[in-house]
Copies of this chain bind each other. A is one copy, B any other.
């Protein structure tokens, strides 16, 4: 818990220094980029990111307001919708990665050897 607090605080400091939006936005944008067609259903994003449903609903609102994603109707089910990443969203994700990647490297990568990183990942995987 403490380790993640420290690491997260450092990464978020880097984000703020670069004038980027909250770190949490990255996860959603990333999942969308990964997904085929650059779109996912909200409940799919929820499952991938572990965001609570009501938090995701409002996070999507914010992303829409910033023009990073848009909502589209999901025809096969009137309750559903698509969340589609926009071009601006893709650009933003890349811009965020330019800070995020080096930040992870600096605050995590640089403190571990390759073998240690693998070990750590394996151990943490047991907790999921």
Contact = CB atoms under 8 A, between A and B. Distances in A.
Nearest to A123: B120
Given A119-B123, A123-B123, A128 B50 contact: no
A116 interface: yes
Contact of A119 (B2, B3, B119, B128): B119
Contacts of A123: 112, 116, 119-120, 123
A4 interface: yes
Copies of this polypeptide in the complex: 2
A49 B6 CA distance: 11
A111 interface: yes
A126 interface: yes
A4 B6 contact: no
Interface of A: 1-9, 50, 107-108, 111-112, 116, 119-120, 123-128
